[in-house]
Amino acid sequence: MAHETGKRLKNKVYLSKLKDLHIELVKLQEWAKQSGAKICIVFEGRDGAGKGGVIKAITERVSPRTFRVIALPPPTEREKTQMYIQRYLPYLPAAGEIVIFDRSWYNRAGVERVMGFCSEDQAKRFLQISPNVEKAIVDSGILLLKYWLEVSPEEQTRRLEERITDFRKIWKLSPMDLKSYSRWYDYSRARDEMFAATDTDWAPWFAVRSDDKRQTRLNIIDHILKSIPYEEIPRGKIKLPKRQKAHGYEEPDFARNWISTAP
């Protein structure tokens, strides 16, 4: 499902296509539960690239018990002393689970490196060991998909400025976003080195230009579905049973407080 990048996708078309993809995501969910598949999806990208919107589009019609979203807070003092990737490992999927990382262990290759939260030696060591860790993840039977969302500098500026003026979005703008905004090319260099070191045959990166949010969501969901060999699980015919008779039960005014349904 490819779309031309020149035009913005109209909302009516977007919602129609998204509905079809949501049906397929439910099929994927039921297949994963029955087959015991283990799927891990990593989302990375620049600030304001649209990772949260993609994840919301993926998960809004599926079960949170199957599709689990992981967005870890800053590490605790204890976690800072662990092997770096260690804090992420407990969240990897078990059989029948699809885990989505809203940022991941690649924080070390991006924000931590650019903003000075780790040393250059630590960042380079991370880039050396990550392919081997991911090889072990894949060899354990986990299907690992890694996505990078790339937004243009102009669109990033527009989105971050919108977060400043739209009170509904102020929670999306952190002090770290403001500090990192001016370091566009530092992030570019860090991204380039990350791709060179960790774009492997067993865990490749998939990049997408994300200036058109709707198009990006559709294309990523479509790519996920095409990357997983799921099958539709046959369903038996479902019929609601008859509801029991009241046998003298009368509905009381059981609640003291009701919220009005009037407009």
Phi and psi at residue 151, in whole multiples of 5°? -105, 150
Cα 209 to the chain's mean position, in Å?
16
Beta-strand ranges (E) seen in the chain are 38-45, 67-70, 97-102, 142-150, 205-209
Q: What is the pLDDT of residue 5?
A: 47
Q: Hey, what amino acid is at 186?
A: D
Minimum mean pLDDT range among 56-60, 87-91, 177-181: 177-181
E-strand stretches of 51-116: 67-70, 97-102
Query: Dihedral of the CA atoms 185, 191, 193, 198 (nearest 10)?
Result: 180
In 3D, which of 69, 155, 65, 174 has the Cα closest to residue 111? 174
Q: How many residues does this entry show for the chain?
A: 263
Asked if residue 186 has pLDDT above 90, the reply is yes
Contact call for residues 104 and 170 (beta carbons, < 8 A)? no
Chain segment 106-162, per-residue pLDDT in tens: 999 999 999 999 999 999 999 999 999 999 999 999 999 999 999 999 999 999 999
pLDDT at 179: 85
Mean predicted confidence (pLDDT) in 240-252: 95
- Contact at 8 Å (CB) between 35 and 66? no
pLDDT band at 29; cut points 50, 70, 90: very high
Alpha carbon 114 to chain centroid, angstroms: 22
- What's the average model confidence in pLDDT over 37-61? 97
Give dist(CA 208, CA 255) in Å, integer. Answer: 51
State pLDDT tens for residues 2-28: 434 457 889 999 999 999 999 999 999
What mean pLDDT is reported for the chain?
A: 94
pTM of the full structure? 0.92
The reported pLDDT for the residue numbered 6 is: 58
What does the DSSP 8-state code read for residue 76?
Answer: P
Q: Which of 39, 12, 13 is nearest to 25 (CA)?
A: 39
The pLDDT of residue 1: 43
DSSP, collapsed to helix, strand or coil, labels residue 48 as coil
What is the model's pLDDT at position 4? 42
CATH of domain 11-227: 3.40.50.300
Instruction: Kindly state the average pLDDT of the residues 226-241.
Output: 95
Predicted confidence at residue 202, as pLDDT, reads 98
